[in-house]
Structure 1
Amino acid sequence: MHILTTTSASLDDLAEPVDLRQTPADVVALSFTDSDLAGLAAAWKADADRLPSMRLAALRDLRHPMSVDLWIDSVARHARVVLVRILGGYDWWRYGCDQL
């Protein structure tokens, strides 16, 4: 016997607002993959004295529109460069793309 589900929810439906509490930087980078962020962090750390300040954030932490708005207002708005790598295209982070 199978039990039929009566409701469904996506992961985005379950997301709650999060404030990453990051400070502004010259360069900010966002990605869904930890390996992207780890690679950027390692490259920056190797020559940090000569490079501009940098902040990294995982897009999985910015799924809720309020989280996106908080992050843009406190970090991205002050950056000289914003790098976003979205695997899967625009629809995977539509609200964030629209706001940036």
Structure 2
Amino acid sequence: MHQATAPHAVADHAFGVLASVRQVPLRDGWEVLQEVSRRLNTKRLVVADQVVGRPVGRPIPYQAGQVLEGQVKGRAGPSRAGERFRESGRCGPETGRAGTCTARPG
């Protein structure tokens, strides 16, 4: 039974990451994972795992990141996550990391 619920837990966690970091409505989370999975010919569980790992610094494959960005762009609401990250002093022109800023929770 535990093995059957583990994939759902990863997917649910990915929905939460998409909602909190990228402002994607929870109801759209499944569609985002499904479309990215279909376009990359990759299992949804793999995509969900990549989404979950991204905010904590695990790299995501370039192509997966591009497809994910495309899916998120049309669904995301206004977000201040990136702005809060920039305000924290961890990125921006003065740090030399202007093009590499990503919002991280916390």
Structure scoring higher RCO (CA < 8 A, sep ≥ 6) equals: 1
- The structure with more strand, counted as a fraction of residues: 1
TM-score norm. by structure 1 comes to 0.29
- The structure with more helix, counted as a fraction of residues: 2
TM-score norm. by structure 2 comes to 0.28
